[in-house]
Chains A and B, each alone.
Chain A
Amino acid sequence: MGKKDMSSEITKIDANTLPAFLEDEEVIGIETLSEYVVPPRVKTVQKQAMDELLKYFGAGDVILSPLNALIAEMPRDEKGRPKEGETASFYVVPIFFYPEWATWNPIELKGSEPAIKYRTVDPTDPIVAKSKNPSLRFENVPNDSSGKLQVRHVEHLNYIVVLYGHPLGAEPCILSFSRGEHNAGSKFAALIRMRKASLFGCVFKATVNLRHGQLGDWYGIDLTNPDNRSPWVTKEEYLQFKELHEQFAKYHKEARLRARLEYDSPEPDEAATEGNEF
Chain B
Amino acid sequence: MKDATKDVKSLIQTYERVRRVYVDTYKLLSTVRDEVRGSQYALEDMVNVIYVLRELSRLFNDIRKETDGVLHIFENVCCAMYVMLYQNSPEKSNPIRASLATGTPRLTVGVTLPKERSDPEKYYELMKYFGIPAEALKNKLIKSHWPGICEYVSQLAEEGKPLPPGINPDKTYPMYSIAIRAFQQLDDLVRMEGGDDAKHDKFLTKVITTRQRIEDQN
Contact = CB atoms under 8 A, between A and B. Distances in A.
Nearest to B168: A209
B135 to A, nearest CB: 28
Contact of A190 (B77, B83, B88): B83
Prevailing SS type, chain A contact patch: mixed
B87 A195 contact: no
Contact of B1 (A124, A186, A189, A225): A124
Contact of B162 (A187, A196, A197, A224): A224
Interface string A238-252: 000000010001000
B157 A194 contact: yes
B169 A222 contact: yes
Contact of A245 (B88, B154, B157, B161): B88
Given A194-B109, A194-B154, A278-B77, A225 B83 contact: no
A134 interface: no
Given A207-B169, A245-B88, A231 B160 contact: yes
B160 A193 contact: no
Contact of A193 (B87, B159, B170): B87
Contacts of B107: 190, 193-194
A190 B174 contact: yes
Contacts of B86: 193
Interface string B126-170: 000000000000000000000000000010111111110000011
Nearest to B80: A186
Contact of B87 (A97, A197, A231): A97
Interface string A86-127: 000000000011110000000000000000000000001000
A268 interface: no
Contact of B169 (A124, A224, A230): A224
Contacts of B80: 186, 189, 278
Contact of B156 (A157, A197, A225): A225
A199 B93 CA distance: 14
Contacts of A225: 156-157, 160-163
Interface in A155-178: 157
Nearest to A205: B162
A84 interface: no
Interface string B163-203: 10000011011100000000000000000000000000000
A231 B163 CA distance: 13
A196 B158 contact: yes
11 contacts: A96-B88, A186-B80, A187-B174, A193-B86, A195-B157, A197-B90, A205-B162, A209-B170, A224-B169, A226-B160, A232-B160
Interface of B: 1, 77, 80, 83-84, 86-88, 90-91, 107, 109, 154, 156-163, 169-170, 172-174
Given A97-B84, A226-B160, 9 more contacts: A96-B88, A97-B87, A189-B83, A190-B109, A191-B174, A196-B90, A224-B169, A225-B157, A226-B162
Interface of A: 96-99, 124, 157, 186-187, 189-199, 202-203, 205, 207, 209, 222, 224-227, 230-232, 245, 249, 278
